[in-house]
Amino acid sequence: MSLHIKSVRVDLAGNTVLRNVDIILPEGETVAVVGRNGAGKTTLLRSIMGLVKLTSGQLLLDGRDIGTEPVYLRAAAGFGYAPEDRVIFPTLSVVQNMALPCEVQHVSKREIAQRIETVLAAMPQLKPMLPRSGAALSGGQGKMVALARALMVGTRFVLLDEPFQGLAPVVARQYGDSLRALRQSHPHLCVVITESNASLLEEVQSSTLYIERGYVTADRLDVLHNPPPMDMALTA
Ligand SMILES: Nc1ncnc2c1ncn2[C@@H]1O[C@H](COP(=O)(O)OP(=O)(O)O)[C@@H](O)[C@H]1O
Ligand SMILES: [Mg+2]
């Protein structure tokens, strides 16, 4: 089981932001996507979620193209997303913040309770925070809650946009520990983590991809020495 991002191109406002992206995201892996600001990391995650329209290409989930399906169907297919600017609802408690995306999907109360238990197994430090108001969280705690919330719907894929950015070192280590614990509690889950600063990654990834000017490759040197031609998109 995997997601094959096949020959994907995304144009935004007349610019090609993703070009010829051809990668496979396999279950059970933690894939880091490393690239500088403006490389296309957020756009890649947003295209997987359906928040950005593909100009061409396919997203093959176990062979079925979900590339034109609306966001809610992708969430229902088990995709969870924690955007860079995590939005924690301040008027809701932490546990309500976690349950919300499942409620939107009409997941049963019993299933929601079960998922919360599973998430807490990987992130026990969240337990005492559950009744707390979303407004009372520190930046680091907010990132933890955003991860937990993404895991509530992301039963197959969890996409984390620069989660380590701005975390104090001790919180970053905790966050890294939670991601490693997920490997035990969610062995089939595919976690995708973008980062502009690879040294922040806490060695959580099982593989690393590099993104440069919208082109994704497993081999960093290739990209640096043979940058894809800028007009590739025009001939695609
Ligand atoms: N909605 C948009 N409209 C036009 N251009 C965009 C839009 N979103 C992103 N871009 C451009 O796409 C490129 C990649 O952006 P982004 O995916 O946010 O990169 P990253 O997350 O790696 O910093 C940038 O050049 C950015 O200016
Ligand atoms: Mg970004």
If we measure between CA atoms, which residue out of 55, 53, 105 comes closest to residue 78? Answer: 105
**235 pLDDT higher than 70:** no
Ligand 1 atom nearest residue 211's Cα: 22
pLDDT at position 81, please? 94
CB 60 within 8 A of CB 54: no
Rounded distance, CA 67 to CA 10, Å?
12
pLDDT at 218: 86
For the segment 194-208, the average pLDDT, to the nearest whole number, is: 93
Rounded to an integer, the average pLDDT of 35-55 is 97
Confidence of residue 55 (pLDDT cuts 50, 70, 90): very high
Domain 2-235 CATH superfamily = P-loop containing nucleotide triphosphate hydrolases (3.40.50.300)
Pocket of ligand 1 (CB under 6 A): 12-13, 15, 17, 35, 37-43
Q: Is the pLDDT of residue 100 over 50?
A: yes
| Percent of the chain at pLDDT exceeding 90 | 81
Pocket test for ligand 1, best of 12, 54, 194, 213 (most atoms within 8 A of CB): 12
Identify the DSSP state of 161.
S
Atom of ligand 1 nearest to the CA of 84: 21
C-alpha pair distances (Å), 78 with each of 114, 133, 228? 15, 27, 33
Ligand 2 is an ion; residues with CB less than 5 A from it: 41-42
List the domain boundaries for the chain.
2-235
Q: In the structure, what pLDDT confidence band is assigned to residue 193 with cuts at 50, 70 and 90?
A: very high
Instruction: State the average pLDDT for the chain.
Output: 91
Question: What integer pLDDT is reported at residue 227 of this predicted model?
Answer: 53
How close is the Cα of 158 to the center of ligand 1, in Å?
21
**Rounded mean pLDDT, 42-60:** 97
What value does the mean pLDDT take over residues 30-51?
97
Look at residue 231 and tell me whether its pLDDT is greater than 70: no
Per-residue pLDDT of 108-146, as tens digits, reads 999 999 999 999 998 999 999 999 999 999 888 999 999
Residue type, 90: P
> Do residues 153 and 102 make contact, with C-beta atoms less than 8 angstroms apart?
yes
Residue 229: which pLDDT band, with cuts at 50, 70 and 90? low
Query: How many whole angstroms from 75 Cα to the centroid of ligand 1?
Result: 23
